[in-house]
Amino acid sequence: MVSVATASHSSAGAGIPSSSKMLPSSSPVSILKKPKSTTTPTGGKRKSPNMDLSLPSSSLPSDASDEPASPKRRARVKFADDTPMQGAPLDERESGGKPEKSAAVVREEVRRAIQRHTTATDSTAYDNLKDLFTADPRRRDEDYWLDFFKPTHTSLKYHLMGLMSNVASLDRSCNGLVYAVLNSQWLGRDESYVKLFIRFLGNLAAAQGTYLGAVLKMLVNYLAGIPKDTGRLPGYAHVHPTEIFARVHMAIRHVMQLVPSSSGALSPVLSSEFPYETDPARANITYTRNLTRLISYAPQMQADILALLTEKLVKIDVQVQVDMEDFEDEVGEDFLHDVSIEAGAGDEEDDDDNASVMSDESIDPETERIKTIKNNICKLDGMLDVLFGYYSVPFSTGTLAEKENTLDLLLSHFQNIILPTYRARHPQFLLFHFSQSNPVLVDRFASLCIQLVFSKLQPGVRRQSAAAYLASFVARGAHVSGDVVRDVVDLLADHINNLRDEYEPACRGPDPRRYSQFYSSVQALLYIFCFRWRDLTTTAFEAGAAERIEELDPEDVAFPTSLKDTLQAAIHSKLNPLKVCSPGIVTEFSRIVHHLSFIYVFSILETNKRLRITAFRNISALSDPRYSQVERELRAGDDLGYQLDAYFPFDPYQLPRSRRWLEGDYVEWRGIPGLHDQDESDSDGDEEMDGRDDEQGSDEED
């Protein structure tokens, strides 16, 4: 019988827990053995940095080696087959007034308990062994049947050493015992026990591949937060949450070093253990921080981890946009201002790191809904702040090659995750900020967007989104040079001319479905012109000329002939882009070009007021499912459903905590020199260009 006994379990195979940490049945997986030690030039062995899991000699008795004993060195302890285990010799040391068995005796008891269980002879000692590890050390002594049966620190350590010596015998028939050990309280104990436990995890994962997933899942489960009182076990010194997280990372790193193939098993575990939507913001932020920390010792998982975080960010971001659609813009702004910077900080310094959100049944549904929205905003803000900090290291201190490699990773996430998402609002600002850190990186991002816009192999919706990203980046990027602005405008102008030549011969009138690529390209050009027209003037080729435009008479401002010809030809074509492009952008563009005596378009705007796009739609288009639902929702005679969405993904960033990273990245809206009602334009221009004034008409002609 094991030295510490509680009520025995009746069934030999009933030790399997119902926890989610169970692995599905599968054939044993071949796992690589412990890697060879690195030999120093002097012939000695060099240990891995920060991974010294050896126990101090003072923590164990002379016969309590934590390594499996060889048959020659094993203590010769004889047991009669019919003699109960409690009759084994006891060590002279005592713990808390109770005699303790020696490590050799406990090791033999563990071996016999496992052997009898696997051979279906007797599972009593096996069940008692499980009870030893499932006992809660935080329970008071009087809660136990007898205080003698409460496991001591020394007894627990000796039994864990016995399990490590017999790890090769812990096959599937012993999964109840294995899960009892994995779910035991180990993080809050002393350093020697934690190191021993981590070594046990490594040996178990290496020797029994079927338990690798369970080991990783148990460890990853702590990355979102530490259960309350984990670091406050009776009889042990208080362990700070920061140290507990360090212990978890030490365990993950040790397992990954012993089992190189564990990276493939860890990736799906990181995804499945990501905090749920209903979890507090702190859990999401803490998990994000710990995943970026994991990359430091598992760089081979960088792409998978960052892609996972980007996917979760996009999902939360979309949910926030959906939740806020029913609120007025002013209420949405109040949400952002009400969100405290500390609300989603996810501070590892807090002992209540995983404290759940209070639930009050008396809260009305509307209040609960607002509370949920604010919690999601905190998640989004805090997770983005962590990622800004993570990416800032290579972009601020790395070489150009390192910066380009990191940007390649961001561009991959942009193209595969962010771009296909309808109206993503915040995750793309990682790219907006870091691509402006170097002129080479500016060209890389702009070039990718141009390729997507021009590529006929891309879906039409994705090409339209790429045009919006290109226009917003060039228009809003404060570190996008005038040369880049002019190059992008020239490329867009050529693209618009080619599309016009292709579409106009068969065109009967404006049709956003058939000519969507043309309209999205024209809208991109108009948007860039509204923000960066100073960089497009002929005098802007001179150094500093764009700044001196403010001092010039608008009548003296001149633009390249090629730009004027492209705009006039497109605007006056049968395609009629001013009828389809967003009203807010069209209105602001018309005011600017009229004031600068560049192009006069107000007569076209007046004509468009009496024009109905439906008159030019062909019969086959009426059956297009993309438009049928929109048409049913439109009022009679209303063309707003056929106009382009004023979506420009780099409109001002409002999240309170992470917005600090974007200081100095924006080209702010500036009023037009000499334009009437300039003060009103200065205060409302941003709203018009952000696409929030779509209902503004074209009747501002002076």
Identity of the amino acid at 317 = D
The contacts found for 48-55 with CB under 8 angstroms, 24 or more apart, are 48/257, 50/250, 50/253, 51/250, 51/253, 51/254, 51/257, 53/195, 53/196, 53/198, 53/199, 53/254, 54/195, 55/192, 55/195, 55/196
Token digits for 167?
């790890």
Ranges of residues in the chain whose predicted pLDDT is under 70: 1-99, 139-150, 327-363, 541-555, 614-642, 673-702
Check residue 622 and give its pLDDT: 39
Q: How far apart are CA 412 and CA 417, in angstroms?
A: 8
Helix (H) or strand (E) holding 316: helix 302-324
Q: How far apart are the first and last CA of the chain?
A: 98
- In order, the DSSP letters of 413-434 are HIIIIITTSTT--STTHHHHHH
What tens digit of pLDDT does each residue of 332-342 get? Answer: 555 665 664 44
Residue ranges of the alpha helices (H) in 533-601? 545-548, 561-571, 577-580, 583-595
HEC per residue, 616-638: HCCHHHHHCHHHHHHHHHCCCCC
What pLDDT score does 548 carry?
55
pLDDT score recorded for residue 339:
60
Model pLDDT, residue 283: 95
Burial 72-110 (b: 16+ CB within 10 A, else e): eeeeeeeeeeeeebeebeebeeeeeeeebbbbbbbbbbb
Residues 6+ apart with CB under 8 A from 521: 453, 467, 492, 495, 496, 499
Q: Give the pLDDT confidence score for residue 135 in this predicted structure.
A: 83
Taking the C-alpha atoms of residue 166 and residue 68, their distance in angstroms, rounded to an integer, is 8
Q: For position 23, what pLDDT does the model report? A: 38
Lookup result for tokens 């009593």: 124
For residue 16, the model assigns a pLDDT of 37
Residue 98, beta-bridge partner list? 95
Residue 5, SS3?
A: coil
Question: 678 vs 222, 532, 550, 591, 687, CA distance in Å?
Answer: 57, 18, 13, 11, 15
Question: Partners of 38 in the beta sheet?
Answer: 46
Q: What percent of the chain has pLDDT over 70?
A: 68
What does the pLDDT read at residue 549?
Answer: 59
Q: What span, in angstroms and rounded, lies between the C-alpha atoms of 148 and 135?
A: 13
- Only one residue has tokens 């405008």, namely 489
What is this structure's pTM? 0.78
Contacts of 522 (CB under 8 A, 6+ apart): 496, 570, 577, 581
